Amino acid sequence: MRYRVVFLLVFFIFLAAAAAALAQAPDAEAILRRADENMGSDNKITTSEMRIHGRRGSRSVRSKSWIRGRTQSFTEYLDPPREKGTKMLKLDEQLWTYTPSSDRTILISGHMLRQSVMGSDLSYEDMMEDPRLEVLYTAAVGGEEEYEGRPCWVLDLTSRGEVTAYFTRKIWVDKERFVVLKENRYAKSGKLLKTTEVRNVERLGNRWVPTRIIFKDALREGLGTEFVLESIEFNAAIPDHVFSKASLR
């Protein structure tokens, strides 16, 4: 009888501990939603610089982008002179580019979406994906780790079945600021395709925003592409005419 009481006591202590652990376990979908919301905005205008570190040297490209929701964006390249005036327009699932040197507007589709943008480690496909990860992926907490001294949740993301450039992703989400500080992107086979590492985060209004990110295509040589955010205006007023094919010329 005594041993039975001890057994029951241990059993109930175990159940209580398991229940407490379950209650404290993080909700992966909620973490991912918070990370998406941190960068979410109806409209925004950004100015940025891409520092492309290729096998044959480095170069910089500056651009300004007008973004409305998840389906409309317009980008104009400002520097260097050879790229100045090049423009890109995204409307829903279509992407057009205009180059002043050829005075041509081209629809980017099919295999062309996998091509590099301006020789960088980013593809047109990267730019076309829905920026809200919770729309494209299911999430599970894979553990907890530190990245650059910041405690992070490690989330394992799996495609919901939609057409995605990357079947799975692993992301490191800052526990305090809910910023994705590091990311690995994989093919369905499990092969690593691309990585991102955030090197600087700034407080802008009521948001924490990555302002310096290193993108690296794991399948190509070079030191990656450094993306530097120079300015960003959230919830900006953008005229409708910006998101039209007429704006490309």
Q: Give the number of domains in the chain.
A: 1
CA dist 111 → 115, 124, 150, 169 (Å): 8, 10, 38, 22
User: Is position 136 within any domain?
Assistant: yes
Q: How many CB atoms lie within 10 A of CB 74?
A: 23
Note the pTM of the prediction, 2 decimals: 0.84
Q: Which domain holds residue 101?
A: 28-248
What is the C-alpha to C-alpha distance for residues 119 and 54, in angstroms, rounded to an integer? 8
User: Is position 179 within any domain?
Assistant: yes
* Mean residue pLDDT across the chain: 87
Q: Give the side-chain half-sphere CA count within 13 A for 195.
A: 13
User: Is position 12 within any domain?
Assistant: no
What CA dihedral angle connects 32, 37, 43 and 44, to 10 degrees?
Answer: -90
The pLDDT of residue 65: 96
Q: Is the pLDDT of residue 12 over 70?
A: no
pLDDT tens by residue, 69-105: 888 999 999 999 999 999 999 998 899 999 999 999 9
User: Is position 160 within any domain?
Assistant: yes
As a whole number of Å, the CA-based R_g of the chain is 22
Residue 149 region by backbone torsions, left for phi larger than 0, else alpha for psi between -120 and 50, else beta? left
User: Is position 21 within any domain?
Assistant: no
The pLDDT of residue 24: 52
User: Is position 229 within any domain?
Assistant: yes
User: Is position 224 within any domain?
Assistant: yes
Amino acid at 241: H
pLDDT tens by residue, 195-219: 999 999 999 888 899 999 999 999 9
Q: Residue 158 is part of a domain; what is its CATH number? A: 2.50.20.10
What is the C-alpha to C-alpha distance for residues 107 and 84, in angstroms, rounded to an integer? 19
What does the block give as tokens for 45?
Answer: 């205008």
Q: Who has greater pLDDT, 132 or 172?
A: 172
